[in-house]
Amino acid sequence: MKILIIGGNGTIGKTVIQRFAENHEVLIAGRSSGDVTVDIASSASIQKMFETVGNVDAIVNIAGDAKWDKFDNLSEDDFYIGVKSKMMGQVNLVRLGRAFLNDGGSITLTTGILADEPVDMTTSAAMVNGAIQSFTKAVALELERGIRVNVVSADLVEDAYEKYKDYFPGNTPVPMHKVVDGYVKSVLGKINGQIIRIRG
């Protein structure tokens, strides 16, 4: 199986790549490094990435930005960071990427616990995460050629615990192997239109 992983250089991405690379061909897309570069906030960049890579069996996205700040401090442009990257970036990966998927292929998107349990300073991030979860359930009804789409929604992960623990008081960090299992379930399983929630 040929798998394109976008955001493969991040905390979760590196571990996901290690798992899939054991038995599959993995291509890595990153903003500044990898087998191919991409800015998911740009549909032109996404299109160029797919044209460079060609057809694949699975697309996995673990990339996407959103501004974290107090609601009072967020400007309209601050909200558009998440809208263009985490939300429309992932929508465009499905919209453009399906043409480069082999029959029966899959697309796996990424959100997070904020869609269900937002914390302080996450108005923008929670908003776009929730949008992607609704999008996933809806678009799964319309994709053809046996193409599936799911989204992985993890709680605070162990490897990022020290960095983000102050934002998530009382959250039990999720072991990385559980997070990776969510991506494996989406890519290698048969589920479609599902929110794969990984909690501690």
Residue pLDDT, tens place only, 174-189:
999 999 999 999 999 9
pLDDT at 200 over 90: no
Q: Is the pTM of this model over 0.85?
A: yes
pLDDT at 1 over 90: yes
Distance CA 22, CA 38 (A): 24
Q: How many of the other CB atoms lie within 10 Å of CB of 68? A: 18
Question: Three-state SS for 37?
Answer: strand
Q: What is the pLDDT of residue 168?
A: 95
Closest listed residue to residue 41, CA positions, set 6, 3, 76: 6
pLDDT at 13 over 90: yes
Binning pLDDT at 50, 70 and 90, where does residue 11 land?
confident
**Contact at 8 Å (CB) between 153 and 112?**
yes
Mean pLDDT of 119-131: 97
Residue pLDDT, tens place only, 36-84:
999 999 999 999 999 999 999 999 999 999 999 999 999 999 999 999 9
pLDDT at 9 over 90: no
- Tokens describing residue 19: 């798992």
